[in-house]
């Protein structure tokens, strides 16, 4: 065969010559893939085997059609693109990594190039320039095949993620409403979703309506639901105090409930509602950086906030001795009393916490003893005083002034 052909074209009949190698090249490719890609190292039988053999044969045939049309003919690549998109789609649904398919393409290309180049040189008389052009055409074709399969894989992955997110949303709604656990299990099993043994309810209040969980960097792949502008998540109990979740919830003013068995997720959510309301009323602290609030850190206050009237009555009863003082003095003495109770009267520590002189602490404690009398030595009274003072700490002044 005459290799002296116009630039940009292959010698006439090269595609026909190479087509005589198709059957043996195809078998060599299949053997090489089975030997070098563990995911495909099994007998190529049944539907899987037929699919692999058909895919290899189709790829080789379409490449040779490009050879017949010349290196610049990309029409057949476009025509076959959907085939490779479907291959990528199928790999995802088979549970295999895209890396396996791309590795098979690379191996198949290497085998085909070695065999086709040998035949073109020895039997077709193709010179070095022609061989370079043939190689560029083959590798360019495989690049487009890889891109199409990668797109198919990504599309399948995205569609699957969307379907799974919808199922997680359904499960989240069921958990929040306290639905029958059997119903929740049925939905999870239908979608092949595995619920963690324990969960903690997380409230993201008044989330931005224009940003989804992925855009906001919030946890995904867990039960979730929205109520109005609020987002509810049910994260795995093992992750609650982990740095990853803390980072995801940073700046979201989240409220995190206790870890419970998933069947009792509604109870965790109820604790979160209570804490959210208590924070709104000023009974719980608000992080200036909008970090997460963990309900387990504020159980005593939450216990009292369950009955606001009871808390108000206990506060009035126990703090009555402060009523006749001016507001500023009342707040100073209240915060000093809280630290005195919490730190068991350690004057130096109290002074450090309040940023005042120890003598100032001594003076204030003397005032408190005059006002409260024997109550400061009564264990029950001390307990109730600390409860009401802690419950109102977020509303009180920090008592830094002297």
**Do 76 and 95 share a structural domain?**
yes
| Confidence class for position 84, pLDDT limits 50, 70, 90 | confident
- Residue-wise pLDDT tens digits, 307-339: 878 888 888 999 999 999 999 999 999 999 999
The answer to whether 9 and 92 are in contact (CB under 8 A) is: no
User: Is the domain of 326 the same as that of 361?
Assistant: yes
Which of 304, 326, 343 is a domain's end point? 304
Please say which residue of 110, 131, 159 terminates a domain.
159
Residues 280, 314: one domain? no
Residue indicated by tokens 């595609």: 15
Dihedral in degrees, nearest 10, Cα atoms 232, 236, 239, 244: -50
Say if residues 172 and 223 touch (Cβ distance below 8 Å).
yes
105 shares a domain with 27: yes
Q: In what order do the strands lie in the sheet with 198-204?
A: 224-227, 230-236, 198-204, 255-261, 293-294
Is residue 192, in this structure, part of any structural domain at all?
no
Band of residue 398 on the pLDDT scale cut at 50, 70, 90: very low
Structurally, how many domains does the chain consist of? 3
Taking the C-alpha atoms of residue 70 and residue 240, their distance in angstroms, rounded to an integer, is 61
Domain edge (last residue) among 288, 304, 320: 304
Residues 6+ apart with CB under 8 A from 326: none
Same domain, 148 and 37: yes
Look up the domain containing 88 and give its range.
Answer: 14-159
Residue 229 has pLDDT above 50, yes or no: yes
The alpha-helical segments, DSSP class H, found in 20-97 are: 22-36, 46-69, 75-93
Give residue for tokens 């009955």. Answer: 307
Q: What angle do CA 29, 35, 38 make, to 5 degrees?
A: 115
**What SS3 class is residue 235?**
strand
> What is the distance between the terminal CA atoms of the chain, rounded to a whole angstrom?
104
Q: CA torsion 103→107→110→114, rounded to 10°?
A: 180
Quote the CA–CA distance of 201 and 235 in Å, as a whole number: 7
How far out from the chain centre does Cα 395 lie? 36
Q: What is the pLDDT of residue 53?
A: 75
Residue 7 resides in a domain = no
* Buried/exposed 251-285: b ≥16 CB within 10 Å, e otherwise: ebbbbbbbbbebbbbeebbebbebbbebbeeebbe
Q: Are residues 119 and 207 in the same domain?
A: no
Decide if 19 is inside a domain.
Answer: yes
Per-residue pLDDT band for 76 (boundaries 50, 70, 90) equals low
Distance CA 127, CA 208 (A): 65
Close Cβ partners of 69 (under 8 Å, ≥ 6 residues apart): 75, 76
Displacement of CA 145 from its chain's centroid (Å): 31
Residue 330 domain flag: yes
Do the domain assignments include residue 188?
Answer: no
Tokens of 340: 């005195």
Host H or E run for residue 111: helix 98-122
Phi, psi dihedral angles at 256 (to 5 degrees): -110, 125
Inter-residue contact 226 to 168 (CB < 8 Å): no
pLDDT tens digits for 108-161?
889 888 888 888 888 878 888 888 888 888 888 888 888 888 988 888 877 777
Of the candidates 393, 402, 397, the one whose C-alpha atom is nearest the C-alpha of residue 351 is 402
Q: Are residues 78 and 95 in the same domain?
A: yes
Which has the closest alpha carbon to 236: 207, 209, 200? 200
Residue 393 pLDDT: 64
Is the domain of 362 the same as that of 300?
no
**Best CA proximity match to 156, nearest among 90, 110, 69:** 90
Other C-beta atoms closer than 10 Å to the C-beta of 342 total: 16
Shared domain check, 315 and 292 = no
Q: What is the pTM of this model?
A: 0.55
Q: Does any domain span residue 380?
A: yes
* 26 domain-assigned: yes
Nearest-angstrom CA–CA distance, 335 and 354 = 9
Q: What is the mean pLDDT of residues 29-35?
A: 85
The answer to whether residue 369 sits within a structural domain is yes
Give the highest mean pLDDT range of 79-83, 212-216, 390-394. 79-83
Judgement on whether residues 18 and 143 belong to the same structural domain of the protein: yes
Same domain, 300 and 312: no
- Assign 227 to helix, strand or coil: strand
The domain spanning residue 53 has which CATH number? Answer: 1.10.490
Cβ distance 265 to 176 under 8 Å?
yes
Question: From CA 369, how far away is CA 360, in angstroms rounded?
Answer: 14
Mean pLDDT, rounded, for 3-11: 53
**Rounded CA gap, 151 and 153, in Å?**
5
**Residue, of 286 and 10, whose pLDDT is higher:** 286
Cβ atoms within 10 Å, residue 53: 15
Query: Are residue 382 and residue 286 in the same domain, yes or no?
Result: no
Contact 62, 149 (CB under 8 A): no
């Amino acid at each position: 065969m005459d290799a002296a052909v116009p630039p940009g074209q292959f010698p006439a009949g090269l595609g026909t010559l190479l087509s005589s190698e198709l059957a043996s090249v195809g078998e060599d490719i299949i053997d090489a893939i089975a030997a070098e890609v563990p995911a495909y190292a099994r007998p190529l039988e049944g539907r899987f085997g037929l699919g692999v053999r058909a895919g290899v044969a189709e790829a080789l045939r379409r490449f040779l059609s490009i050879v017949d049309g010349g290196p610049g003919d990309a029409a057949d690549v476009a025509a076959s693109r959907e085939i490779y998109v479907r291959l990528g789609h199928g790999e995802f649904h088979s549970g295999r990594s895209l890396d396996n398919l791309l590795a098979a393409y690379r191996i198949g290309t290497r085998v085909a190039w070695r065999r086709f180049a040998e035949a073109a040189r020895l039997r077709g008389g193709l010179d070095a320039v022609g061989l370079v052009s043939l190689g560029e055409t083959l590798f360019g074709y495989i690049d487009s095949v890889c891109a199409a399969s990668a797109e198919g894989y990504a599309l399948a992955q995205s569609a699957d993620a969307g379907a799974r997110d919808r199922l997680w949303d359904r499960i989240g709604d069921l958990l929040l409403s306290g639905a029958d656990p059997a119903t929740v299990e049925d939905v999870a099993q239908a979608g092949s979703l595995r619920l963690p043994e324990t969960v903690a309810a997380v409230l993201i209040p008044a989330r931005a309506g224009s940003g989804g969980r992925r855009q906001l960097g919030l946890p995904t792949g867990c039960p979730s639901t929205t109520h109005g502008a609020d987002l509810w998540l049910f994260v795995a109990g093992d992750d609650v105090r982990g740095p990853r979740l803390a980072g995801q919830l940073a700046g979201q003013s989240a409220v995190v409930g206790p870890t419970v068995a998933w069947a009792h997720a509604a109870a965790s959510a109820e604790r979160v509602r209570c804490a959210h309301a208590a924070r709104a009323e000023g009974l719980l602290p608000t992080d200036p950086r909008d970090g997460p609030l963990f309900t387990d850190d504020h159980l005593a206050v939450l216990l009292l906030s369950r009955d606001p009237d009871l808390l108000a009555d206990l506060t009035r009863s126990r703090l009555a001795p402060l009523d006749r003082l001016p507001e500023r003095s009342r707040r100073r003495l209240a915060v000093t009393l809280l630290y005195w109770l919490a730190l068991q009267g350690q004057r130096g520590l109290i002074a450090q916490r309040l940023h005042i002189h120890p003598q100032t602490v001594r003076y204030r404690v003397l005032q408190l003893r005059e006002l409260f009398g024997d109550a400061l030595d009564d264990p029950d009274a001390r307990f109730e005083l600390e409860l009401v003072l802690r419950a109102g700490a977020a509303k009180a002044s920090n008592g830094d002034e002297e």
